[in-house]
Structure 1
């Protein structure tokens, strides 16, 4: 995989160039069920105005940079996208300098492999891109870190793709409590577990779903189910219960030091090479919200990125078992 790190304070030529590069593949994915299966532009923008009004001016700017086309604008709204599943494990290591650690398990051919550092609307945000302005994990200049896992349910409903909800949290929130309030009210089109950690060591996990109210918990660990396993075959294949139990043991019974705890994400049972089924571990991310820093890790490789001194560049990464 070729990973890139790109920084652009305001939406401009760098983002426009990225969109032109990625759009053909995203367009095919977005239309795979037919155009009529997706909400109209009017419906999409109205949903943004209702649920995420603060970022509507940013959305309008990005639509213009993307060429002003109807399909692109509907895609960029993240409203009512096609269903998509991921694996993932995430946990808070609660030391004196707590960190948020996560594995992202997904199909490497359907992934941005891009770290974006932006200062859109005056708020600095750094994290792993999805859909070119959504985030699957990230941190902002207020010291708020966030990441997601799939919630392990088949239900698809009326709502947004969760990466845009994460972007919205990072653009508008400074504390875990503020993030929890957003996650409780913004509708998601599928079930996800979203974990947040702020600079004051406060954290929570929101279990979001399209067909029931979000459950806000003080859980430090999230894998691919919510309060109970509902999709049994998916749970068995992804070993979600076993991964959750393993992480809880690391936090409670063994009290691993930070580096040992992070290292466990790069080994079984957390690290996956099931790329044939679309659930291999693409990367391990470590977020240090007090320092406004992130690390991307692979076996034998660590890529450190700082919000204050962000270095653009690229990395070629070989994923074991991905061939």
Structure 2
């Protein structure tokens, strides 16, 4: 069992200052040095058109552009380097797992990936210049793997395919832009139909109305439908699926078989987080092990979070935080059945 943790970042202020604070925080960290080591062998994937990316970010999330300016200044990087590293555009994305289950009152998701790619950062950010406040785990510093905003919109995404990629945003930046700029499921669907996609992903959305929608999005086509279970294959845009989908279909079937046992939010959480329920995955060596289980409650404005399986969730009252009450905890601890630690824990 490998002991791991996520640091909790809490910040209220404008985007530039938020970026600068994060840059100061990570510039001498293991996270940044390990990230550089992983990147060096794949440098060709990190070549960008700076003007194209800048215009795209300013169009969809101008606040994030200011955050990038702050990050770059703190890390003493050029704007081209900053955008390449943290802009969430063009970068390659490794294959991964992930499962999402929703009801009228909550969205629960297992984030499955390789631990070495995981940053171990859980952020609560309330902007004072523009955009909605958001709670959720970070990815590539500026992106979000899942989360909920101050309007009660919650989002999680599932990998489907990285073949036939195109110029566009990667999943975690799309997730961040959804949460920072959209107040409802309908607004998020409109955004997903307009924003350029780098890869093929499902985005599961829910808001305070209880509406739960699955959006199947590729660089070529986007469609949305009502649904409450999502893994790593498309149900409608089947031509966009990978050749091998057996494991994804099996996980979906397990969730369908067990959903009748769900009588309250905690039993739903257990279906996802208990290792013996067979939705939680220990396939860390195949980039498909469950790293965190996150639950979001739009009507209550609460979030649950756990690292690893068979764990009680840490509960966040987002409403209290939005009203100025800071969290007393600074770190979320957990354990994974993996020989590889997070990028923030030890040298890789």
Normalization by structure 1: what TM-score?
0.89
Alignment of 1:209-288 (within 5 A): 209-210=218-219, 212-227=220-235, 228=238, 230-233=241-244, 235-236=245-246, 239-251=247-259, 253=260, 256-266=263-273, 267=275, 268-288=277-297
* Structure 2 gaps, min length 5: 341-348
Question: Shift of residue 54 of structure 1?
Answer: 5.7
Distance between the aligned counterparts of 1:205 and 1:182, measured in 2?
Answer: 14
Moved more, 167-176 or 223-232: 223-232
Is the alpha carbon distance of 1:285 and 1:36 closer, same or farther for their aligned partners in structure 2, counting shifts above 3 Å? closer
Q: Distance in 2 between matches of 1:58 and 1:3?
A: 21
Which residue in 1 is equivalent to 2:200?
A: 191
Q: Do 1:30 and 1:75's aligned partners in 2 also have CA atoms closer than 8 Å?
A: no
Does the CA contact (< 8 Å) of 2:161 and 2:199 recur in 1? no
Aligned length: 315
Q: Tell me, yes or no, if the aligned pair for 2:100 and 2:156 is still in contact at 8 Å.
A: yes
Greater relative contact order structure (CA < 8 Å, 6+ sep): 2
Q: Are residues 1:292 and 2:301 paired?
A: yes
Offset at 1:30?
Answer: 4.0
Tell me the secondary structure at the aligned position of residue 42 of structure 2: coil
Quote the Cα distance in structure 2 between the aligned partners of 1:141 and 1:35. Answer: 38
140-149 or 48-57, which deviates more: 48-57
- The runs of 5 or more residues in structure 1 that have no matched partner are none
SS at match of 2:203: strand
Deviations 1:237-277 (A, max 9, x none): xx1112112223444x5564332222111234211111122
RMSD across aligned positions (CA): 2.3
1:153 touches 1:230 (CA, 8 Å); kept in 2? no
SS in 1 for 2:279: coil
Q: Deviations over 1:29-73 (max 9, x none)?
A: 444322575213223213323444464334333333332423123
Aligned-pair distance for 1:118?
0.6
